[in-house]
Chains A and B, each alone.
Chain A
Amino acid sequence: MKSYIVKRLLLAIPTLLGITIITFGIIQLAPGNPVERNQQLEQGIQSEQITKEIIEQTKKLYGLDKPIHIQYWIWLKRIATFDFGDSYKDHRPVIDKIKERLPITLTLNIISIFLVYIIAVPIGIMSAIKDRSLLDRITTFLLFGLYSIPSFWLAMMLIYFLGGGEHWDIFPIYGIQSANAESFSFFKKLTDFLWHITLPVICLTYADFASLSRYQKGSLLEVLRENYVRTARAKGLSEKTVILKHVLRNSVIPIITIVSAILPAMIGGSVIIESIFSIPGIGQLGFEAILSRDYPLIMAITTITAFLTLIGILIADIAYVLVDPRITFEGRN
């Protein structure tokens, strides 16, 4: 068990390095080098003195006068201490900007993942028990339909019908709290927050119901074919006991690892959903960074979100082993 966890953590190191290499490589794709780009951006607004200063500063930041592998090494050493440089836009440290935004996105994504599991797992169990029944077919079809709706389209529909356009004005469509939220009591603040995130959370969750419930269904059907289930039935246990006591628990275990498929997609989805609902999270920050070609910010966001996703996957993998003693490291590879 311990050796598995150690090995799994060690395996994350090359992955982490690969993430930084790709991030670094993407910035090299940018037309012209970042210094020239930055100069073009600043020209006209800044005096020549400051422009020169910025060029020097940026050159030093990236070591652009050096060969590319040395540049990468310098950058790697800096990000190891979480020094991602300053934003081009307002010259604040990138890491501070991310620190402000990250908790919001993390909260939204954790709530969303939690909801996906709470809703999709029972659906999956139900359609496995009633496999190929009319109910199973209808839910499968409905979930596939949901999965096929573009999230931005649904977001616009929700805003249009529920966000006070021509129709009902039920949910706020801007930000995560009311303008006067500072004066609210704790409980009111919480309900105000939940009220604000309802529509964004709907848009982040609905598409994942289909895949997760299908995994749950497949997993349960697989467990139903196991020999110990046959044994349980053979010794005369009622179908209810067989399902609830023997099948259900074992079928839920592999579902933990599906979080590694959901998490990256959800962070990607945050870019769209946060932009539409003006949520000051990391997705919106990232989209703004791309629009304004804010290289240090883009590199920092890619690296940090990939890093956090990796942590999420590691936690899921380790939790998987912890709850299921039958899994060994060798067995999984």
Chain B
Amino acid sequence: MKEETKLNESTGYWRGVWTEYKRDKLSVLAMFLIFSLFLVAVFDDLLAGKKPIIMKYQNNIYSPAVFNHKKLIGMDFSDQDEIKDISSFVIFPPVKYSATENDLFSVLSPPDKNHYFGTDDRGRDVLSRMIHGTKISLSIGFVAVGIAFIIGITLGGIAGYYGGRTDFVISRLFEIMITFPVFFLILTILAFRDPSIYNIMIVLGATGWTGIARLIRGDFLKIRNYDYITAQRALGANDIRIMFVHILPNALAPVLVAATFGIAGAILTESALSFLGFGVPPPTPSWGDVLSQSKKYIDFAWWLVIFPGLAIFLTVTSFNLVGEGFRNALDPKLRGR
């Protein structure tokens, strides 16, 4: 019984937020869109690729799109008719093209019944590249913001909790990071270190934490003087426990909103980096990479501009709308209007 009450209390706040959030239909739609993108990112190999999802070959069932079956090593999946011939039963992904293999016979072909979104200058299927690019773009957004989140919470928390001289030093660090031309800094670092996907995540995370740190610092400064914190200290809890177990949960909500906006920003920055040639190294597909190819063929290859541009636009808008929806839902002044 006691356990149950506790559970209700802890979900109460978030349930209220959710009820409030649901009132904004646009934000709910945006959340649905992000969820679908997640599915695309997770199941990208089933949606686009040359390898069949399921095939029956010599009375055994294989799934080459998901697993690297030992029996099938050495099998050439490039000719799909041949695969059809040798297997008694086969299902291919809806988009039957690889994201990375060049096909010089269908270079820059406009959308048709084979290539739904057309092909790029190496004959690669744009839709397939975009499906696989979803994984890259989303993971860059999430991991970069995750790194920023950890740095921001640590620095902001320490500054706000200890105050005084510690706060002074860390606040100067905020100011330095704010004054720096961050995009230029990112470009410089990526020019010196090779622009692998991990370096991009690290650089975006290491430069994007100031907003989160500021919010956390403000809340910690306020909450550390509350009575329940004094009580914890009297009970003998150490600083780390007070900071992360007792203060952080009460300061988390606005930070999560900031993080949502941060993901949108990171996806935009990644696309800009790709556009300038500092993005994920080829042939790895990302939305920005597909878009950057359109530079050369903008006169006629509209499909290289419209589709990836729309994907970036819709994703970034969705993340922003979700962030906005939660911000409104969290603001008690706006409740019940």
Contact = CB atoms under 8 A, between A and B. Distances in A.
Interface of A: 11, 14-15, 18-19, 22, 26, 29-31, 132, 140-141, 144-145, 147-153, 156-157, 159-160, 165-166, 225, 260-261, 264-265, 267-269, 271-272, 275, 283, 286-287, 290-291, 293, 298, 301-302, 305-307, 309-310, 313
A30 B178 CA distance: 23
B245 interface: no
Given A132-B337, A150-B271, A306 B180 contact: yes
Interface of B: 26, 172-173, 175-176, 178-185, 187-189, 191-193, 264, 268, 271-272, 275-276, 288, 291, 294-295, 298-299, 305, 309, 312-313, 316-317, 320-321, 324, 333, 337
A15 B264 contact: no
Contacts, number: 139
Given A302-B180, A309-B178, A310-B179, 14 more contacts: A22-B180, A144-B317, A148-B268, A149-B313, A150-B291, A157-B305, A166-B299, A264-B179, A264-B180, A267-B184, A268-B184, A271-B184, A291-B191, A313-B179
A306 B188 contact: no
B137 to A, nearest CB: 12
A22 B176 contact: yes
Given A15-B176, A150-B268, A156-B295, A302 B181 contact: yes
Contacts of A14: 172
A26 B192 contact: yes
Nearest to A145: B317
B272 A144 contact: no
A114 to B, nearest CB: 20
A305 B321 CA distance: 32
Contacts of A29: 189, 192-193
Contact of B185 (A18, A141, A166, A302): A302
Contacts of B180: 19, 22, 264, 302, 306, 309
B65 to A, nearest CB: 31
A290 B320 contact: no
A18 B172 contact: yes
A310 B181 CA distance: 11
A161 to B, nearest CB: 10
B185 A19 contact: no
B298 A305 contact: no
A302 B195 CA distance: 20
18 contacts: A132-B337, A145-B313, A148-B316, A152-B272, A153-B305, A156-B298, A159-B298, A160-B305, A166-B299, A225-B333, A264-B180, A267-B184, A268-B183, A272-B276, A293-B191, A302-B184, A306-B179, A306-B180
B290 to A, nearest CB: 11
A-side interface mostly: helix
A302 B188 contact: yes
A144 B321 CA distance: 8
Given A156-B298, A166-B299, A150 B312 contact: yes
A298 B178 CA distance: 18
A188 to B, nearest CB: 31
Contacts of A298: 188
Given A144-B321, A287-B276, A150 B188 contact: no
Contact of B275 (A22, A152, A165): A152
Contacts of A307: 179
B163 to A, nearest CB: 10
Contacts of A293: 191
Contact of A15 (B175, B188, B271, B298): B175
A293 B188 CA distance: 9
Nearest to A211: B261
A26 B188 contact: yes
A78 to B, nearest CB: 20
Nearest to B337: A132
B181 A309 contact: yes
